[in-house]
Amino acid sequence: MNRLLSTLLVLGFLFGSTPLLPASADDSPIPEKMAAQYQVRLDNSKEQIDLGVTKGWLKPAKAEELKKELAAAYALNSDLKAKGYPKDATVELEKTVTLLNQHVTSAAATK
């Protein structure tokens, strides 16, 4: 049993940490439907920020901070749209939009 476990660990280490194929950038575009969702998600975040201000769920300073983060996300989205949403570069947009959503939700919940 120990020998089998040791062998599996060694194989897992070797194949888990060493790429089997050479790493390369993937410049192919993401599907159009997926790309359109980034604009929808950003627009939803804008609506949530505006609603949070209107309802008093967000402090003005926090709302301004979120609006700056939103503007940066919109700019990144526009840049990637102009480039055809290459897969590798879109990973950063996904992280940015998800983090923005977390920040908006957290700010509204902790007023």
Tallying the residues shown for the chain, one arrives at: 111
Per-residue CA distances from 12 to 2, 23, 64 (Å) = 15, 19, 47
Mind listing the pLDDT tens digit for each residue in 19-62?
333 344 566 777 787 888 999 999 999 999 999 999 999 999 99
Q: What is the pLDDT of residues 59-88, one digit of tens each?
A: 999 999 999 999 999 999 999 999 998 988
Tally the C-alpha atoms within 13 A of residue 87's C-alpha that lie toward its C-beta. Answer: 8
Contacts of 77 (CB under 8 A, 6+ apart): 38, 39, 42, 93, 97
